[in-house]
């Protein structure tokens, strides 16, 4: 105990903690964060880092937002948790009512879970069991190349195969991967048409409009509508993974709202609770839900759940986050972030150091030109990471893809400061 008092938080962490997505042997000591304050994370030495990636795309309104803090404190004092089978509570009901109101109008039920991966697991299990419950043998899933849906086994199975999942290949179920619509729309469409003619295709899962971890790859709602239409014509369920795109990241509340064709199942997390509490939710249409109804407990029931399903404090955080999101102030900021990104992106178009400058809603992405691959494996990642951290900006790139997905409280001045720092980095290249 004595010893730990004299050691830094970072050193103590290194002695006992195993960090995610981290090669522990190579990685520099983690930064010990002691406080969150709006756009900033403050470390144990008082250094401030502007969090322009919203800490893995979660933090919607800035760190330790006073309004959300007040609401979760109130909730903790009145009901901190309750089993969600046979019991319900106001924050969960209210949140479900509000989500249903914002989701595409065919969505009718909300199933709660714990994070993005579990929201996807639930979506996949709903789809498989739906077909079983109505007596059809459909077991195949279609997914896009370059997709990422999480790290549990089902979510890994439908994610693009890569070094991330290689140790688990023998345990992943078979998935039909088609070309990413962001890379080749026509090939993607053709491959989908070939596959859906088979009788056994249960569902297609996709990240609507932006494939996040795959490199912030963007494609249009027109293309997505065509793909969804093909699925609908062939009785293939559409599962929209809005874990990253939800809650105005792409401008609209959900990326699916840009489309004419509506998904059957939608997976939510990250911004759901304003990024404050771990939480997932999966919505579905009435048609899916009705297929799980039965006169017998052991028949057709969805036997899935988590200890912390619909945790009241998480639901309170989500309701508070929605209150903020509904305000004119936040909606104005969302539009302003988009306008700032657009103006900056226009100025970058002829910059010989970058390519594929792209903007969707509050997301700006660009690829730093590279002699090697564009992608997560590009080692320029570490150089970019260090450069920006030294300038007090947390901008963890995806390989050579630099992107900004900031909390909505970011000011115009802060955005300009970040753009200026990107320019400085590009000048050094």
Ligand X SMILES: Cc1ncc(COP(=O)(O)O)c(C=O)c1O
Binding flags for ligand X, 182-201, as an x/- string (CB under 6 A): --------------------
Range 55-74, binding ligand X (CB under 6 A): none
Which one of 75-83, 146-154, 175-183, 367-375 is the stretch in contact with ligand X (CB under 6 A)? 146-154
With binding defined as CB under 6 A, does residue 117 bind ligand X?
Answer: yes
Closer to ligand X by Cβ: residue 146 or 207: 207
Among 91, 116, 123, 399, binds ligand X (CB under 6 A): 116
Kindly write out the interface string for residues 251-290 of this chain, putting x where it contacts ligand X by CB under 6 A and - elsewhere. ------------------x---------------------
CA distance 198 to 187: 18
Stretch that binds ligand X, among 137-145, 241-249, 300-308, 348-356 (CB under 6 A): 241-249
Q: Give the residue, chosen from 40, 49, 130, 148, that forms a contact with ligand X under the rule CB under 6 A.
A: 148
Tokens 């039920």 belong to residue: 109
First to last CA, the chain: 47
Cβ-contact 214, 146 below 8 angstroms: yes
Nearer to ligand X, 273 or 414 (CB): 273
| Cβ at position 211, least distance to ligand X in Å | 8
Q: Is 120 a residue that touches ligand X (CB under 6 A)?
A: yes
Size, binding site for ligand X by CB under 6 A: 14
For the bound state, the minimum distance from the C-beta of residue 202 to ligand X, rounded and expressed in Å, comes to 19
- Is 244 a residue that touches ligand X (CB under 6 A)? yes
Interacting residue ranges for ligand X, rule: CB under 6 A: 115-117, 120, 148-150, 207, 212-213, 241, 243-244, 269
């Amino acid at each position: 105990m004595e010893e730990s008092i004299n050691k830094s938080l970072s050193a103590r962490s290194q002695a006992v903690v195993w960090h995610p997505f981290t090669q522990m042997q190579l990685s520099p000591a983690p930064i010990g964060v002691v406080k969150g304050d709006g756009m900033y994370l403050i470390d144990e030495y008082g250094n401030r880092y502007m969090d322009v990636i919203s800490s893995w795309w979660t933090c919607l309104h800035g760190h330790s937002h006073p309004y959300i803090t007040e609401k979760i404190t109130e909730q903790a004092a009145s009901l901190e948790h309750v089993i969600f089978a046979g019991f319900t509570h106001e924050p969960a009901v209210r949140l479900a009512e509000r989500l249903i109101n914002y989701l595409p109008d065919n969505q009718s039920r909300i199933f709660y879970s714990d994070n993005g991966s579990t929201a996807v697991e639930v979506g996949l299990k709903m789809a498989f069991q739906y077909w079983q419950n109505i007596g059809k043998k459909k077991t195949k899933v279609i997914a896009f190349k370059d997709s990422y849906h999480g790290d549990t086994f089902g979510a890994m199975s439908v994610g693009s195969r890569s070094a991330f999942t290689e140790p688990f290949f023998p345990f992943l179920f078979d998935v039909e991967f088609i070309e990413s619509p962001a890379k080749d729309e026509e090939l993607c469409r053709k491959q989908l048409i070939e596959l859906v003619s088979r009788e056994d295709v249960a569902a297609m899962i996709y990240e609507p409009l932006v494939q996040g971890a795959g490199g912030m790859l963007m494609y249009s709602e027109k293309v997505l509508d065509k793909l969804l239409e093909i699925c609908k014509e062939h009785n293939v369920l559409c599962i929209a993974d809005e874990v990253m795109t939800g809650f105005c990241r792409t401008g609209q509340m959900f990326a699916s709202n840009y489309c004419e064709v509506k998904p059957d199942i939608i997976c939510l997390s990250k911004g759901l609770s304003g990024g404050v509490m771990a939480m997932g939710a999966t919505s579905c249409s009435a048609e899916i839900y009705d297929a799980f109804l039965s006169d017998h407990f052991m028949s057709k029931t969805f036997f899935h759940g988590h200890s912390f399903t619909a945790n009241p404090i998480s639901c309170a955080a989500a309701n508070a986050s929605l209150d903020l999101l509904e305000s004119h102030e936040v909606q104005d900021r969302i539009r302003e972030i988009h306008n700032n990104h657009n103006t900056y992106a226009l100025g970058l178009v002829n910059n010989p150091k970058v390519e594929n400058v792209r903007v969707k809603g509050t997301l700006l992405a660009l690829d730093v030109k590279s002699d090697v691959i564009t992608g997560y494996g590009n080692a320029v990642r570490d150089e970019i990471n260090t450069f920006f951290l030294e300038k007090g900006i947390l901008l963890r790139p995806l390989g050579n893809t630099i992107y900004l997905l900031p909390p909505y409280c970011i000011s115009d001045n802060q955005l300009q400061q970040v753009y200026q720092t990107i320019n400085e980095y590009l000048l050094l290249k």
